[in-house]
């Protein structure tokens, strides 16, 4: 896992509902990856709020910098049973990664973190195989830049993944 996560237990939980109209939303949409055995959706929901730290890739760092409070985030389990399993919300914009605060060799790179809170689990995971099989998701960053741990998602891709993860 490229990113580890720290708990912010002393902060009150943030209330957020997923948006229902994506085409004209001023928000951005993202996907973050985590290995379920290291830090899975169940860890995230149990903690309630997390600092998304440990990202050490320049493009992923830049994506973290672009995140704003209110942006919605797909939570993706990587490696074991890869797929989107939940929806989170950005609750604090990027700030310096506290895990490197005392390491001059690392601080020069400008590593940052954001704070995320879980919103809801998907009714059913949207597997990587489903995403790859869906023609409308052929250009999603998850497929095109598969090693990136934090990536933007277009509104239409985000909406489709949520629909695929919902049972009616």
Q: For residues 39 and 112, give the distance between their C-alpha atoms in angstroms, rounded to a whole number.
A: 19
pLDDT of residue 25: 59
pLDDT tens digits in sequence order for the chain, 168 residues long: 344 443 333 333 333 444 444 454 578 999 999 999 999 999 999 999 999 998 999 999 999 999 999 999 999 999 989 999 999 999 999 999 999 988 888 888 999 999 999 999 999 999 999 999 999 999 999 999 999 999 999 999 999 999 999 987
pLDDT of residue 102: 85
pLDDT of residue 101: 85
pTM: 0.84
Buried b (16+ CB within 10 A) or exposed e, 94-128: beebeebeeeeeeeeeebbbbbbbbbbbbeebbbb
- Domains located in the chain, CATH noted: 4-8+25-164 (3.10.590.10)
Secondary structure (DSSP) of 11-56: SPPPP----S--TT-SS-EEEEEE-HHHH-HHHHHHHS-EEEE---
pLDDT of residue 152: 97
């Amino acid at each position: 896992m490229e990113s580890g996560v720290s708990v912010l237990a002393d902060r009150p939980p943030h209330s957020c509902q997923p948006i229902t109209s994506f085409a004209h939303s001023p928000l951005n949409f993202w996907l973050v990856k985590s290995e379920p055995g290291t830090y899975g959706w169940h860890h995230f929901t149990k903690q309630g709020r997390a600092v998304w730290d440990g990202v050490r890739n320049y493009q992923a760092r830049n994506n973290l910098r672009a995140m704003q409070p209110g942006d919605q985030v797909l939570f993706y389990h990587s490696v074991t049973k890869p797929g989107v399993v939940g929806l989170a919300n950005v609750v604090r914009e990027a700030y310096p990664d506290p895990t490197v605060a005392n390491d001059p060799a690392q601080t020069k790179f400008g590593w940052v973190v954001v704070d995320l809170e879980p919103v809801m689990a998907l009714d059913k995971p949207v597997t990587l195989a489903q995403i790859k099989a869906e023609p409308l998701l052929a250009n999603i960053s998850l497929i095109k830049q598969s090693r990136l741990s934090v990536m933007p998602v277009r509104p239409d891709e985000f909406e489709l993944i949520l629909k695929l993860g919902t049972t009616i």
